[in-house]
Amino acid sequence: MEDENKVTEEIIEDDDIEVSEDAESSGKYDRLLESDSRKFKLSGMFKDWYLDYASYVILHRAVPHIADGLKPVQRRVLHAMYRMDDGSYTKVANIVGQAMQFHPHGDQSILGALVTLGQKGFTVDCQGNWGNI
């Protein structure tokens, strides 16, 4: 436990160190750090990037769109079902596999979205024990 505190204190101290402009370079990153390039402090950039990414995920993935009330994964499932519609019932596993082309974030999120669409009862006609849709 004490070792973790020491590491944290060292990291905090390292963040406060300023990079001198006259320091000798090893030549390895000269192309990246030419005179016209900018130097940034990474710790501050990661904090800003995390907040930007978190707000993007909340607003564009987790919250349903106001126009149709669907999340992006549900929209992708409906598109996959539209493309493979032949008038007959289709196996759920087949729909999940086809939707993976448009939503490569795992089959569990697709299956959960499909269950949500089926429970609403407006867009998906379920048959039996949800083996066919």
Residues 63 and 73: their CA atoms lie apart, in Å, by 11
Which of 16-25, 84-93, 107-116 has the least mean pLDDT? 16-25
pLDDT band at residue 12, thresholds of 50, 70 and 90?
very low
- Using an 8 Å Cβ cutoff, are 77 and 94 in contact? no
**pLDDT (tens digit, 9 = 90+) per residue, 56-73?**
888 877 788 888 888 888
Question: If DSSP codes are grouped into helix, strand and coil, which group holds residue 91?
Answer: strand
- Using an 8 Å Cβ cutoff, are 103 and 73 in contact? yes
Closest CA to 112 of 81, 71, 66, 82: 71
pLDDT band at residue 128, thresholds of 50, 70 and 90?
confident
